[in-house]
Amino acid sequence: MIPIFIASVSPFSGKNLICLGMGLKLKKDGYNVGYFKPVGFSPVVVENVITDEDAVFLSKTLEVNEPLQSICPVLVTDDLIKRLMSGEELNIRQKTMTAFKEASKGKDLMIARGLGRLSAGTCLNFSELDFIKESNSKVIFVDKFQPHIVETLDGFIYASRMLGNQLLGVVFNLVPQTKLNYIREILIPFLKNKGIATLGIIQKDPILGAVPIKEIVNALNGKILCCEDKMEDLIEHFMIGAMNVESALSYFRKVADKAVITGGDRSDIQLAALETPTKCLILTGELYPGASILGRAQEIGVPIIVVRADTASTLEVCENLSGYVSLHTRSKITRAAEVVEREIDFKTIYERLGLPKS
């Protein structure tokens, strides 16, 4: 059994994307693949078990049938923190490795998903680096492209120094098209001179970066008025409607797959939005639309969400959602598999793992 650990330099860099895409690719190539998340931070209750939301999603998507307690043995909750602060011996190392051994039974490869930096988990007396060493995992580091590239390079180089030949390589994610040549011509040769292989460059993707309507409703604590069957639809752009109708029509026609955020009392803007390629209306100020607007939205299948917050605050929440790429929809799962298989150098990965060529 070969463990592959997915780590990152900074949060929300694409660890789930790599886990998902790599797991599906390995399964496609005939391997029995398991999934493991040593420590979870997003508690949910599934079948009367408190577990991690991402662990549930990845294990279901990859068709891993192990007990949830084996897939994610440690969950950071208020209770665990209190016990930690009291000095109680939590035996995290033993609990983690016992679960990992159980989850690994019969598997060809295990994909383990970290929290981020190698130091994560240090306060629990069992860091990600400790797990990597003890499980003898091979490691792929991913980071989102950011203007201050030194932080990314620091993270990659530090990982190389700490992991040696356990580091398979690194991946740049969420890369703007304008930065592709910079990465290819400057950063990749620089890392190669440091003994670090670049395994892939994943550009910003409109589908992967889109936000499901149901996540907008949840984040805004909104009330959905119609078209509940559209909750899985993806929003790629958010636009504010605060101008006159003529300007609004011209403005809205330029962008498809959008949500329009406007005051609940602006029926003129709401109607203009519904006459263009709009996927969702978000009405602020807890003001409800008139019957004609609601009827038109139902007719063309555009959900209307009513929220209490003002327009500016609502836009801020929505834009923050765009910065966190959730993969929890079927269309995103399909897209993630396509993107990872296309952009990641599986030939090199398979060679370094001693697997037959992909």
Structural domain boundaries in the chain: 2-208+325-353, 211-323
Dihedral, 151, 205, 342, 338 alpha carbons, nearest 10: 130
Which tokens is 30 given?
């005939």
Q: Which helix (H) or strand (E) is 95 found in, with range?
A: helix 92-104
Q: By three-state DSSP, how is residue 82 classified?
A: helix
Which residue is associated with the tokens 């959730």? 326
Dihedral, 275, 278, 279, 284 alpha carbons, nearest 10: -100
Q: How far apart are CA 92 and CA 74, in angstroms?
A: 7
Instruction: Give the pLDDT score at 281.
Output: 97
Same CATH fold, 211-323 and 2-208+325-353? no
Residue-by-residue pLDDT tens, the chain, 358 positions? 999 999 999 988 999 999 999 999 999 999 999 999 999 988 888 888 888 999 999 999 999 999 999 999 999 989 999 999 999 999 999 999 999 999 999 999 999 999 888 999 999 999 999 999 999 999 999 999 988 899 999 999 999 999 999 999 999 999 999 999 999 999 999 999 999 999 999 999 888 888 999 999 999 999 999 999 999 899 999 999 877 777 888 889 989 999 999 999 999 999 999 999 999 999 999 999 999 999 999 999 999 999 999 999 999 999 888 766 678 788 889 999 999 999 999 999 999 999 986 5
Q: Where are the beta strands (DSSP E) in the chain?
A: 2-8, 33-36, 39-40, 43-46, 49-52, 74-75, 109-113, 138-144, 167-175, 198-203, 211-212, 223-224, 234-235, 237-240, 258-263, 278-284, 304-306
Q: How far apart are CA 162 and CA 171, in angstroms?
A: 18
pTM for this entry: 0.83
End-to-end CA distance of the chain: 18
According to CATH, the superfamily of the domain at 2-208+325-353 is: P-loop containing nucleotide triphosphate hydrolases (3.40.50.300)
Pick 211-323's CATH classification: 3.50.50.60, 3.40.50.720, 3.40.1390.20, 2.160.20.60.
3.40.1390.20
